[in-house]
Amino acid sequence: MSKKTILLMLTGLISVLAVSVALGATAETKGSKKSKERPGFSIHKISDDLFDRMKSGNTYKKYCIVPREDLRYLLVLHKDLDGNIHQGEMVVHKLIADDVLEIFEKLYDADYPIERMVLPDNYMADDEIMMRDNNSSGFNFRFISHTDKISKHGLGMAVDINTLYNPYHKIVKNEDGTEQEVIEPATGKPYLDRSKDFDYKIEKGDLCYRLFTEKGFEWGGDWTDRKDYQHFELPTEITDKYSEKYSKKTK
């Protein structure tokens, strides 16, 4: 093992300790063997300091109806394209926390590149800005437009990876019969041509795809009415039960 590799690993581990202390996060005492076995990869309940950060950063909005107790904070190491080690963080629903932690461990071990992974609060929960920065993320509370149904990111049951290079694309038909092309982020347009080779690209059958789908996630790149190449989510039959349960509590 080279001196550079050792230095990067030590830097990553120091970052883990620093983030944990700064946020006052408490590691799970049960339900996650991985969090106790391997430094650099852990699951935490939402501490008071972290909760304040999520509220001020707008991912946990005033009208959020997903209980804080049902969310988990993940600390994971990830490597960028050059092999540099970074401390990643992500909030997801407790239902998928163990699976997502395991997926990121395997991606890290395989040197699968993920450029950036910080909470959406760093961008005031602005999806477009966050995606342009190629940030990978999970929970960000919102309802599906014109409904009282919580989106899958709003539930913390969806994960986006390397968002700039794996954009969302849909052709929307307007009421007057015209069509409008939607690309998110707008700067991701050059990466809609999936026949090309480029960095941070997710492809059907690659390691990222296999690890998520093996855990029961669906990939937005498989959809026919639109494409969301960055996006992995739990099936609707699972998420609808939670969305309905949380919505009923507010009525």
pLDDT tens digits for 45-92?
999 999 999 999 999 999 999 999 999 999 999 999 999 999 999 999
- Length of the chain equals 251
Predicted local distance difference test score (pLDDT) of residue 22:
40
The whole-angstrom separation of Cα 194 and Cα 64 is 36
Predicted local distance difference test score (pLDDT) of residue 146:
67
**Which residue range is the domain that position 57 belongs to?**
3-249
Predicted local distance difference test score (pLDDT) of residue 158:
98
Q: Please name which of 78, 76, 74 lies closest in space to residue 110, comparing C-alpha atoms.
A: 78
Total tally of structural domains belonging to the chain: 1
Is the separation of the CB atoms in 131 and 163 below 8 Å? yes
Is the separation of the CB atoms in 206 and 198 below 8 Å? no
Task: Name the residue type at position 233.
Answer: E
Is the separation of the CB atoms in 170 and 226 below 8 Å? yes
Predicted local distance difference test score (pLDDT) of residue 200:
98
Give this prediction's pTM. Answer: 0.86
Q: Please name which of 46, 24, 43 lies closest in space to residue 33, comparing C-alpha atoms.
A: 43
Is the separation of the CB atoms in 86 and 117 below 8 Å? yes
Output the CA–CA distances (angstroms, integers) from residue 89 to 140, 144, 189, in the order listed: 13, 25, 27
CA 14 and chain centroid, separation: 23
Output the CA–CA distances (angstroms, integers) from residue 142 to 150, 152, 153, 195, 226, in the order listed: 6, 9, 7, 33, 20
pLDDT under 50 in the chain at which residues? 1-26, 29-35
Predicted local distance difference test score (pLDDT) of residue 31:
41
Tokens of 231: 């996006």
CA angle 141, 144, 149 (to 5 degrees): 85
Q: pLDDT tens digit string along 180-205?
A: 999 999 999 999 999 999 999 999 99
